[in-house]
Chains A and B, each alone.
Chain A
């Protein structure tokens, strides 16, 4: 039995994998939750699936990788056993220190993280980050909500008051109010990314308060969309296409399209480029225009008028004539946040510090 030790067995497996890896580009993906959550993780898993269209790529993935040292284990296995040349870590908590540690130990492998903040002084050179700016899509989604509401009250179930979530609440509200300035948005913070029972309670309470369009920003707002359908009100999704949860009341939603990003990386890596020597950008970001994100297909109750208005606004955003962060913009306490005449692009880093809710939102960012 000595001759068949586990180590030797794994070693031979790794050699075979490495041999296979020579003819194809092996990419590894790790997700923080299940691949079929109809939310954040599924959006990434679908992105990885589009790599099937690239015959030179062999893409592997692992779901529900915890944000612990187990993430290092998973990435390590992809590198040593499957010969992965690049690893994509998609959950925020995978970045520091887990991805960074594995990157330090494997300088010849490239690491890409979704949403991490790379610091030149402290972090290894073979780590890149990528992210999308979905504000404009939230704005368009909010416009449809603005056309649909009868009570002029919109509900938003949010996980945490962090800048990314606040940007979505604000742009959604701004989109809705661009159609009808009497609209207000009520926000309920649940406190974490996946809390199905509390999300359902929050949705139900908002419906009790007379809102008639419900949306949210959680790991997967499918509970929110489903509760809206049950209460007979409209729903806008987020992260991924959730129309299946609300066949009657679904309007649209802002969803990620990571396939664009992963395809881009696959092409760059095949051409022998690397983030260490700067031939792959350290920070790869994009917006609606770049196809990083998009609107979900419209539901059956979206009016032709709303369709047309959103199509026009979308075209204007893409050609640059509609800037959604154009001053004056006040927060909901009346303070001027973006001065008249000032316009911030969605990629402006100033917006990453957002800690306020825009005029028309009922809620507070501090607890």
Chain B
């Protein structure tokens, strides 16, 4: 009985930790992609659509070609194309980023559902995992330590983006385009081109997050697969104050929160499951309220975010 209780408590810790690793990946890629986009001054709310389209494309291509890596590549390309549509639309002075983004959510998800119809069927080849837990005799620990390579890519990407924004010429130009496009133009920075590049790259990254969902966890294509993760990741960028390293931390937090409800129930804490299941959403609201009020506004936002000019 003692051992059972220990196992249950351990199970929650392990579940949340493992959940943080495997569940954070979509948040990680979407939020880093969105961070890049917003740094250049554009808002892409359509990430939810990009995520679904990436998920569907990765699954379909992996299923048809037999190669999950090809699926991943295809997802990134399709995501980039959706990003190009969004950037292309919002280049025009009177097109509102947010409105176009909402249209892109509907467009991306509709497209994904339409082409995904025949792929609701069983399984596509999955991405290989990196096995770090073979030393452990416990199947729970072993399973928690079988980690998707995308996780490490995402973390590395967070650091890389941070470096790019702080230390490189291109990063400075992206920030300039986002903070004050007029000033940036006056010193010869091609603002439109930079914004296009950032939006396309950002959406490509987000689509990789979608590929993770169909090629590893949970590893199927279903119309309900995203559960609003694309939108939450956009909110997460605001909470992370447009800092890629904070995006990484926030993504881990959200991944862990997502696993909290199920693992508490599995450990025998049966009550309040609706409350615990809602924890990622509660967290979004709480963090937004907290970060926005303390400093009397959203500090760290790119100066010209969402404004054309």
B266 A188 Cβ-Cβ under 8 A: yes
Q: State whether B263 touches A208 (Cβ < 8 A).
A: yes
Q: A199 and B277: CB pair below 8 A?
A: no
Determine which of B23, B220, B266, B271 lies in contact with A186 in the assembled complex, contact meaning CB atoms within 8 Å.
B266
Q: Are the CB atoms of A227 and B8 closer together than 8 Å?
A: no
In-complex Cβ contact of A34 among B120, B227, B263 (8 A): B120
Residues of A within 8 A of B1 (CB): none
CB <8 Å contact, B225 and A196? yes
- A–B Cβ pairs within 8 angstroms, 16 of them: A33-B223, A36-B117, A186-B268, A195-B227, A197-B213, A197-B225, A201-B23, A206-B266, A210-B140, A222-B122, A244-B122, A244-B123, A245-B123, A362-B268, A363-B265, A367-B271
Do A197 and B139 touch across chains, with their CB atoms under 8 A apart?
A: no
A209 touches B (CB below 8 Å): yes
Q: Shortest Cβ distance from B112 into chain A, in angstroms?
A: 12
| Contact residue among B118, B222, B261 (Cβ-Cβ distance under 8 Å from A194) | B222
Give min CB distance, A316 to chain B, whole Å: 34
Query: Is B133's beta carbon under 8 Å from chain A?
Result: no
Query: Whole-angstrom distance from the CB of A195 to the nearest CB of chain B?
Result: 6
* Residues from chain B with Cβ under 8 Å of A208 in the complex: 11, 14-15, 18, 140, 143-144, 263, 266
Residues of A within 8 A of B143 (CB): 204, 207-208, 231
Q: Does B187 contact A (CB under 8 A)?
A: no
Chain B 130-144: CB-based contact to A (< 8 A → 1; otherwise 0): 000000000110011
**Residues 56-76 of chain A, each 1 if its beta carbon lies under 8 Å from chain B, else 0:** 000000011000000000000
Instruction: Give bound CA distance, A179 to B195, whole Å.
Output: 65
* Residues of B with C-beta under 8 A to A187: 265, 270
Residue A155 CB within 8 A of the other chain: yes
The chain B residue sitting closest to A242, CB to CB, is: B122
Contacts A64-B223, A201-B23, A201-B259; is A232 near B139 (CB within 8 Å)? yes
- Size range of the chain B interface in the assembly: 35 or more
B224 at the interface (CB under 8 A from A): yes
Contacts A198-B261, A226-B123; is A209 near B11 (CB within 8 Å)?
Answer: yes
In the complex formed, the residue of A with least CB distance to B274 is A367
Determine the chain A residues whose CB is within 8 A of the CB of B263 once the complex forms.
Answer: 201, 205, 208
Whether B301 is near chain A, meaning CB under 8 Å from some CB there, is no
**Cα A199 to Cα B23 with chains together (Å):** 12
**B15, B267, B273, most chain A CB atoms within 10 A:** B273
Q: In the complex, A197→B123 CA distance in Å?
A: 16
* Interface: B154 (CB within 8 A): no
Q: Are A155 and B122 in contact (CB under 8 A)?
A: no
- Tell me, rounded to whole Å, the shortest Cβ–Cβ distance linking B268 to chain A: 6
Q: How far is the CB of A173 from chain B (nearest CB, A)?
A: 15
- In this complex, what residue of B is CB-closest to A211? B266
A contact patch SS = mixed
| Interface presence of B69 (CB below 8 A) | no
Cross-chain contact A209 with B218 (CB below 8 angstroms): no
Return B272 CB to nearest CB of chain A, in Å. Answer: 6
**Complex Cα distance A64/B120, Å?**
12
Q: Does B217 contact A (CB under 8 A)?
A: yes
Q: Which of A64, A196, A209 contacts B8 (CB 8 A)?
A: A209
Chain A residue numbers with a CB within 8 Å of B11 are 205, 208-209
Q: For B126, give the chain A residue with the smallest CB separation.
A: A230
Q: For the complex, is A202 an interface residue (Cβ under 8 Å from B)? A: yes
**Cβ contact within 8 Å between B120 and A37:** yes
Q: Is the CB of B266 within 8 A of A202?
A: yes
B7 close to chain A: CB less than 8 A: yes
* Complex CA–CA separation, A140 to B265 (angstroms): 26
CB distance from B275 to the nearest CB of A (A): 7
Contact present for A198 and B262 (CB under 8 Å): yes
Shortest A149–chain B CB gap in Å is: 15
Quick check: is B108 within 8 A (CB to CB) of the other chain? no
Within 8 Å CB of A362, what residues of B? 268, 270
* Chain A CB within 8 A of B209 CB: no
Contact A34 B117, beta carbon cutoff 8 Å: yes
By beta carbon, the residue of chain B nearest A192 is B224
* B33 at the A interface (CB under 8 A): no
Complex CA distance for A196 and B228, rounded to whole angstroms = 12
CB distance from A67 to the nearest CB of B (A): 14
Q: In angstroms, how far is the closest chain B Cβ from the Cβ of A183?
A: 15
Within 8 A of B (CB), among A312-358: none
Name A245's closest neighbour in chain B (CB-CB).
B122
Beta-carbon contact of B273 and A367 below 8 Å: yes
Mask of B55-77 contacts with A, CB within 8 angstroms, 1/0: 00000000000000000000000
Given contacts A36-B118, A186-B266, A191-B274, contact A201 B222 (CB under 8 A): no
What chain B residues lie within 8 Å of A230 (beta carbons)?
219
B266→A209 contact, CB < 8 A: yes
- A364→B269 CA distance, assembly (Å): 9
A200 within 8 A of B: yes
A197 touches B274 (CB 8 A): no
> Known: A188-B265, A204-B18, A209-B7. Is A197-B272 also a contact (CB below 8 A)?
no
Chain A residues within 8 Å of B223, by CB: 33-34, 64, 194
Query: Is A37 within 8 A of B218, CB to CB?
Result: no
**A205 CA to B12 CA, complexed, in Å:** 8
Instruction: Name the distance in Å between B142's Cβ and chain A's nearest Cβ.
Output: 10
* Shortest Cβ distance from B218 into A: residue: A200
User: Contact partner of B19 among A33, A201, A232, A245, CB < 8 A?
Assistant: A201
